[in-house]
């Protein structure tokens, strides 16, 4: 099985992978064979999985899509990688992503953009674009992703696959290269909710090495997939269906909601009044945390170091100017600015207050409904380069995924059909804290 997938990866032109090491993959596959011969059983034993290149792996390179880490090989495995290996999964390689997971299109990767299998002139979404493209094109049956502000859900939507970001703290961040620590969360990507349930059950669980890991018992997310939807109250936030939503996406989302209604769910209009504040809040908080997290890349401890420099300060400056791409540098500057003396109260503290209000909106909504549904992205995948050098166009497209991220809630994207140009559309499901099993149960209606 691993060999068959490796062949498909080698023949693909989607640029979905940054590092592939057939020797290591096949060694893992042989090890899974041995475990199976010894009588071991399990849903992931011998099943290939591709890891987003944000999870560090022993053996394969761990680049975060950056020149800064282009040749970096980690001496240890991320918790997620370790857990999946223990379950018998076989690593197929490292998938392409936006540099340090900053982006919505996979266009900021140092290794070039990954492409959308439905239309190779379009983006696959981001930042987990390589993972989504790989699953959609049949280059991997399962893939890990990370979601800080939508990076599992949005590429899943744009590539027509299923992706779930669990409640913040469910999946250990140990060995996940940090972007914005209070938001970063590992997630599962696959064709179906059923496959996502198997993958997430193996990925999630308490880890004392991550100070924000949730100390809860392990859960089998596959157990309640078949539960009927009768009487389930699904809230449709008015703010998710406003003027910014394109007509083709709206039509596909409406049709998907119709499926849920037929299955006995009750659709209720609700309001999340602070939705539009999610963009300014997120694009202050995430860069602030990024500027702090990325200070470790100084040319001394990890990765790239400038060849020529006069003194230490010049070494830092040149290293970081060469190692980081434009979007990462922009965010470090924004982050350092909003955290600086005199601006902290005006920007960072304000953004934190908005974050609380957004979480309060959800808390009020979950008093009325069991689940929230809406679009993942206002449009289908755009063409490569279409947004030009205007990062704000990308930021604005994150409007529907950022609120759940800021609140730490679980969110999911399920395939909802197709829009303009035959490009996929995703239906987003947002659950209350720890309600992943419910999301997967509802997502399972779309296999
Ligand atoms: N598009 C958002 C950003 O650029 C989200 C990325 C993510 O979830 N990693 O920050």
pLDDT at 447 over 90: no
In this prediction, residue 306 has a pLDDT band, given cuts at 50, 70 and 90, of very high
pTM above 0.95, yes or no: yes
* Distance from Cα 227 to the centre of ligand 1, integer Å: 33
52 classed as catalytic = yes
CB atoms within 10 A of CB 262: 10
* Distance from Cα 150 to the centre of ligand 1, integer Å: 6
In this prediction, residue 222 has a pLDDT band, given cuts at 50, 70 and 90, of very high
Domain ranges for the chain, please list them: 2-203
353 classed as catalytic = no
pLDDT at 49 over 80: yes
Q: Cβ distance 134 to 95 under 8 Å?
A: yes
* Distance from Cα 88 to the centre of ligand 1, integer Å: 30
- What atom of ligand 1 comes closest to residue 150's alpha carbon? 8
Dihedral of alpha carbons 339, 146, 429, 207, sign: negative
Give me the catalytic one of 52, 94, 165, 318. 52
pLDDT at 70 over 80: yes
| Ligand 1 pocket mutation pick from 54, 100, 101 by most atoms within 8 angstroms of CB | 101
What is the per-residue pLDDT across 388-426, written as a single tens digit (0 to 9) for each? 889 999 999 999 999 999 999 999 999 999 999 999 999
Fold of 2-203: Amidase signature (AS) enzymes (3.90.1300)
Which token pair is 106? Answer: 């996979």
Average pLDDT over residues 355-382: 98
377 classed as catalytic = no
Taking CA atoms, 61 is separated from 4, 78, 134, in Å, by 22, 13, 18
The per-residue pLDDT of the chain, averaged, comes to 97
* Distance from Cα 126 to the centre of ligand 1, integer Å: 7
Which token pair is 136? Answer: 């959609």
Average pLDDT over residues 90-109: 98
Give me the catalytic one of 74, 104, 109, 127. 127
- What atom of ligand 1 comes closest to residue 146's alpha carbon? 9
Predicted confidence at residue 72, as pLDDT, reads: 97
**What is this model's ipTM?**
0.98
Predicted confidence at residue 287, as pLDDT, reads: 98
In this prediction, residue 380 has a pLDDT band, given cuts at 50, 70 and 90, of very high
Predicted confidence at residue 443, as pLDDT, reads: 98
Show Cβ contacts of residue 64 under 8 Å, excluding neighbours closer than 6 positions: 53, 54, 97, 99, 100, 101, 177
Q: Cβ distance 246 to 378 under 8 Å?
A: yes
What is the per-residue pLDDT across 144-196, written as a single tens digit (0 to 9) for each? 999 999 999 999 999 999 999 999 999 999 999 999 999 999 999 999 999 99
Q: What percent of the chain has pLDDT over 70?
A: 100
Average pLDDT over residues 70-90: 97
Give me the catalytic one of 151, 172, 291, 397. 151
In this prediction, residue 302 has a pLDDT band, given cuts at 50, 70 and 90, of confident
* Distance from Cα 238 to the centre of ligand 1, integer Å: 24
Residues with C-beta less than 6 Å from any ligand 1 atom: 101-104, 127, 147-151, 179, 286, 398
């Amino acid at each position: 099985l691993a060999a068959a997938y490796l062949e498909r990866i080698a023949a693909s032109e989607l640029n979905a992978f940054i590092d592939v090491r057939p020797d290591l993959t096949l060694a893992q596959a042989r090890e899974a064979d041995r475990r199976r011969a010894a009588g071991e059983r399990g849903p992931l034993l011998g099943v290939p999985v591709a890891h987003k290149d944000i999870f560090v792996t022993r053996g394969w390179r761990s680049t975060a899509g950056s020149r800064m880490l282009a040749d970096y090989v980690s001496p240890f495995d991320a918790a997620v990688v370790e857990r999946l290996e223990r379950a018998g999964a076989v690593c197929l390689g490292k998938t392409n992503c936006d540099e340090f997971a900053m982006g919505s299109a996979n266009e900021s990767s140092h290794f070039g953009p990954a492409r959308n299998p439905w239309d190779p002139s379009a983006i696959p979404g981001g930042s987990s674009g390589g993972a989504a493209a790989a699953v959609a094109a049949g280059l991997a049956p399962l893939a890990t992703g990370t979601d800080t502000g939508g990076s599992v859900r949005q590429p899943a939507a744009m590539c027509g696959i299923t992706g779930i970001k669990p409640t913040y703290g469910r999946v250990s961040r140990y060995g996940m290269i940090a972007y914005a620590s209070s938001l970063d969360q590992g997630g599962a990507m696959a064709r179906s909710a059923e496959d996502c349930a198997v993958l997430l059950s193996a990925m999630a669980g308490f880890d004392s090495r991550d100070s924000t890991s949730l100390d809860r018992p392990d859960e089998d997310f596959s157990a309640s997939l078949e539960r009927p939807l009768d009487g389930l109250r699904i809230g449709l936030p008015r703010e998710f269906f406003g003027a910014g939503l394109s007509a083709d996406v709206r039509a596909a989302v409406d049709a998907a909601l119709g499926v849920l209604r037929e299955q006995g769910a009750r659709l209720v209009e609700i309001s999340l009044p602070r939705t539009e504040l999610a963009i300014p809040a997120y694009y202050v908080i995430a860069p602030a945390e990024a500027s702090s997290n990325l200070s470790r890349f100084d040319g001394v401890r990890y990765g790239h170091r400038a060849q020529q420099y006069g003194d230490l300060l010049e070494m830092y400056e040149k290293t970081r100017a060469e190692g980081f791409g434009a979007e990462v540098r922009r965010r470090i500057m924004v982050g350092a600015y909003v955290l600086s003396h005199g601006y902290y109260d005006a920007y960072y503290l304000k953004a934190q207050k908005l974050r609380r209000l957004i979480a309060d909106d959800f808390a009020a909504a979950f008093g009325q409904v069991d689940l929230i549904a809406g679009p993942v992205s206002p449009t289908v995948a755009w063409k490569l380069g279409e947004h030009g050098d205007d990062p704000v166009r990308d930021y604005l497209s994150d409007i529907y995924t950022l609120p759940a991220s800021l609140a730490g809630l679980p969110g999911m994207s399920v395939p909802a059909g197709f829009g303009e140009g035959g490009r996929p559309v995703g239906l987003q499901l947002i659950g209350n804290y720890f309600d992943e099993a419910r999301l997967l149960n509802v997502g399972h209606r779309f296999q």
